[in-house]
Amino acid sequence: MSIERIVLAVAGFFVFVSAGLAHYHHEYWLFFTAFVGLNLLQSAFTGFCPLATILKKLGKQSGTAFG
């Protein structure tokens, strides 16, 4: 699995879980959802993603977006 797929999977999981927590626990969890979305947006323009950097250091193979 490439870095890009892992990043998208983790981001999707975080959005799904935080939306569920916002619905069932407290609406402030939507701030975490917004944080994940903003991080994805800025990484699309800058090419910098903290999770991608961590995965690179762990030896994961890079695809084209975070190469």
> Using one digit for the tens of pLDDT, what is the confidence trace for 41-51?
999 899 899 99
Domain that residue 31 falls in: 3-57
Q: Do 6 and 55 meet the contact criterion of CB atoms below 8 Å apart? A: yes
Domains contained in the chain, number: 1
Q: Classify residue 49: in a domain, yes or no.
A: yes
pTM, entire model: 0.83
Q: Classify residue 20: in a domain, yes or no.
A: yes
Q: Classify residue 25: in a domain, yes or no.
A: yes
Among the listed ranges 28-32, 33-37, 58-62, which one has the minimum average pLDDT value? 58-62
Q: Classify residue 65: in a domain, yes or no.
A: no
Q: Classify residue 42: in a domain, yes or no.
A: yes
Q: Classify residue 37: in a domain, yes or no.
A: yes
Q: Classify residue 52: in a domain, yes or no.
A: yes
